[in-house]
Structure 1
Amino acid sequence: MGNVLVVGAGGVSSVAVHKMAMNPDIFGPIHLASRTKSKCDAIAASVKARFGAEVTTHALDAMDVAATVALIRQTGAEIVVNLALPYQDLVLMDACLEAGVNYLDTANYEPEDEAKFEYSWQWAYQEKFREAGLTAILGSGFDPGVTSVFATWLRKHKLKTIRQIDVLDANGGDNGQAFATNFNPEINLREVLAEARHWEGGEWKTSPAMTHKVEFDFPGVGPKNMYLMYHEELESLSTHFPEIERARFWMTFGDAYITHAKVLENVGMTRIDPVMHDGKEIIPIQFLKTLLPDPSDLGELTKGKACIGDIATGEAADGSGEKTFYIYNICDHEECYAEVGSQAVAYTTGVPAMIGAAMVLKGIWREPGVWNMEQLDPDAFMDMLNTQGLPWQVEELDGPVAF
């Protein structure tokens, strides 16, 4: 068993901690910390009620490196699983280096005052972690995370090279709300409204947000409009698989969601810079977050399925010429809620976070340094997806995507 400290107490954290408790041969003791200890206590109570397992909770300001180091040492954790906000990635990596423990997160760093996310800040820690003999795993969610492992698995078992890859994310769930985000509203809206970028011909191509729309028939979900977006795995995949000629990311949104998001942007509610209101300084998007439904409260209301996967084209491993494969998972919102009290969006991120931590604790992914998921051997991770609630399928398509 491995001693683990989970930082953050949102919906993803709740899933990850529940799933850790379901795998006592790998995880234990489990510690959970957040600025708001009551949120940790609620997760711990749910875990106790469902599985009879104990989770020890702590109050922590994750931006305080000294306090985090002290808690790591107090708990004796072997790995810190960062399920807090991406603004906190670097300070938690600093704390892990000082305390001498391994690190894992689900989303790359972005500055709080700039709508920009990229891996350069975290990749700069490569030598620090290598020299310390510690492992840092970046992006162990679903996208990024599983989608990168899918690509590596295809490249290991089906394709010699990947010429082009499309990551497709469809949420066919309905929660009955007029407008609600599937994960942290602040992070979600910053991501959705950012300029779209994709990798093609050795350079980044840009386009305005939400302007390139394609209908696609998703397995288990049906036809949905998906939009071209930028997502962090495009950066790491195009870096670590240099043969890729084109890499794109697509996510589905309903017309009502797009309308709400654009209106909120137009009236300034998605601004991330401070403004004065009634003599006090506020950040509009953070105020908006307090008004919107908490994604972690929507599990019981959400019906339907999600489908996330990769379509990759390249030279076949068996020498039979160029082939295209579609590898994906279908996840049911109601089944997720029945198991761990969460909707599928949090489930598809929290389960891979647990599996990534398991890979480190079991010594399968233990090479010192900072690693993206596609750099690591995929097989054991893929096996655990099948046994831990995210079974995957792979099928050969007639040819490359036409969109």
Structure 2
Amino acid sequence: MSRLLIIGCGGVAQVAITKCCQNSEVFTEICIASRTVSKCEALKEKLEKNTTTKITTAKVDADNVDELVALIESYKPEAVLNLALPYQDLTIMDACLKTKVNYIDTANYEPEDTEDPEWKAIYEKRCKEAGFSAYFDYSWQWAYQDRFKEANILGLLGTGFDPGVTSVFTAYAKKHYFDTIESVDILDCNGGDHGYPFATNFNPEINLREVSAPGSYWEDGHWVEIPAMSIKREYDFPEVGMKDMYLLHHEEIESLAKNYPEIKRIRFFMTFGQSYLTHMKCLENVGMLRTDPVNFNGVDIVPIQFLKELLPDPATLGPRTVGKTNIGCIFKGKKDGKDKTIYIYNVCDHQECYKEVGSQAISYTTGVPAMIGAMMVVTGKWNGTGVFNVEEFDPDPYMEALNKWGLPWVVDENPAIVE
């Protein structure tokens, strides 16, 4: 039925690829492409015995537009699913523009070198205009809107869990539960334990940069920025228990504020244990989270990239991680003139995810929605020309697919609220 080019072969990509192979009726052919083609070949060998999906592999540098264009032109996919690093979003979008092929990703663009003078000048201008200073925002990709329209292609941004599923939860809540939504609290709880004193559940470089950045939230039509990790709340998560959580900046706040202007406040919270916070603060204090090159014995190294090499590979955490995640949204608003509050969430078990796909729940909760977003595009259930966030489409087929493909959701109509 469809041919999908998947760029990337990390932890999230491996889950998404496995799910595509489970969904052979839709994904009849896939090509796995990465700079390290041996990883693609190993995954192909593992999966092809148990799927009717035809799998091919290719070597590509996702930073090189010409290489990407050559691969797209030779494979001729219906869509490109970008599961590479956020640094590479724009080069892959450029390649899709040149070849007029639909584009899908799970997270918005981030620049790799945040100390580059040219980027810093643009960044400072964007900060002033937008009202917040996160390293990552949607403005870079929203700028492709007119060009994607002219090319008659669709760009689907952010079909991970957060952003992604949490944004679809918002569209679903508005469609089925509320006349108006007044506030959204997005809660991301990882109750898993991997046994290490310190490790990150996805790419350490991306994870540590996001967590150490200033926090921000949307309130009454403007951004409120706060020092990193300065707002803490406790919440009793269903099936996980009481956890400390901290307010962070997150990109779906930006798109939800744009697409639901009636929402007065949108916040994002993520849980962290004390060991994680202590290690991170120490690393930040000694300069290990710096993104600019440092000369060491005549060699330029980027401290955060060097740190990444020292930390456990997130792909190795699966067999040793136990516990559950709980990710969802608390919505407050009105229905038929009455106040209403609901919590829509998913609970995922790390060990169950590992048994099914060989990955822990963090990769699973992003990889499954990546497959579902690609399915929405290639089947035409979501269509259009231009660049879109997931909440701009009908949420029902996506929500149905979440239940079918491993991320069942719950609607709690009497939840605890976050002050």
State the distance in 2 between where 1:177 and 1:8 align.
26
**1:226-237 paired onto structure 2 within 5 Å:** 226-237=245-256
Amino acid at match of 1:231: H
- Check if 1:79 corresponds to 2:79: yes
Matched, 1:349 2:355: no
Q: Which residue in the other structure is 2:128 paired with?
A: none
8 Å contact from structure 1 (residues 47, 54) kept in 2: no
- The code of the aligned residue for 1:102 comes to N
Matches of 1:17 and 1:314, distance apart in 2: 38
1:382-397 matches, within 5 Å, as 382-397=399-414
> Mean Cα displacement is larger for which, 113-122 or 255-264?
113-122
For 1:18, the equivalent position in structure 2 comes to 18
Cα distance in 2 for residues equivalent to 1:372 and 1:143 = 12
Deviation of 1:211 after TM superposition, in Å, equals 1.7
* Map of 2:352 onto structure 1: 335
Q: 2-side partners of 1:25 and 1:359: how far apart?
A: 13
> CA RMSD of the aligned region, Å?
1.2
Equivalent residue, structure 2, for 1:314: 333
AA aligned to 1:354 is M
Unaligned runs of 5+ in 1: none
| Post-superposition CA distance 1:277-329 (Å, at most 9, x none) | 1101111101111111111111111111001000011111xx15120110000
Secondary structure in 1 matching 2:111 = coil
Q: 1:272 to 1:314 in 2, by over 3 A?
A: same
Q: Structure 1 counterpart of 2:160, which letter?
A: G
Instruction: Report the Cα offset of residue 76 of structure 1.
Output: 1.4
Report the Cα distance in structure 1 between the residues aligned to 2:213 and 2:250, rounded to whole angstroms: 10
- Structure 2 gap segments, 5+ residues each: 115-133
Q: Contact 1:270–1:285 (CA<8 Å) still a contact in 2?
A: yes
The answer on whether the counterparts of 1:47 and 1:53 sit within 8 Å (CA) in structure 2 is no
Deviation at 1:55, TM superposition (A): 2.2
- Of 328-337 and 33-42, the range deviating more from structure 2: 33-42
Preserved CA contact (<8 Å) 1:88 1:109? yes
1:132 matched to 2:151: yes
Match of 1:262 in 2: 281
User: Displacement, 1:52?
Assistant: 6.7
- Distance in 2, Cα, partners of 1:42 & 1:5: 17
Q: How does 1:118-267 map to 2 (within 5 A)?
A: 118-267=137-286
What TM-score comes out, normalization by structure 1 length? 0.97
CA–CA distance in 2 between the matches of 1:21 and 1:387? 15
Aligned to 1:111, the other structure's residue is in SS state: coil
Report the TM-score, using the length of structure 2 for normalisation: 0.94
Which residue in 2 is equivalent to 1:369? Answer: 386
* Cross-structure match for 1:28: 28
Q: Secondary structure at the match of 1:285?
A: helix
Partner of 2:124: none
Cα pair distance change 1:402/1:108, threshold 3 Å: closer
Within-5 A mapping of 1:296-315: 296-315=315-334
Count of equivalent residues: 400
Hey, which bits of structure 1, 4+ residues long, moved more than 3 A? Answer: 49-54
Distance 1:27 1:219 in 2: 35
Q: Residue 142 of structure 2 aligns to which amino acid in structure 1?
A: W
Per the alignment, do residues 67 and 47 of structure 1 end up closer, same or farther by CA in structure 2, a change over 3 Å counting? same
Query: What is the one-letter code of the residue matched to 1:388?
Result: W
The CA distance in 1 between the partners of 2:25 and 2:269, in whole Å, is 37
Q: Provide the rounded CA distance (Å) in 1 between the counterparts of 2:365 and 2:51.
A: 20
Partner of 1:325: 342
Alignment-derived partner of residue 105 in structure 2: 105
> In structure 2, do the counterparts of structure 1 residues 394 and 63 end up closer, same or farther at CA, with 3 Å as the change threshold?
same
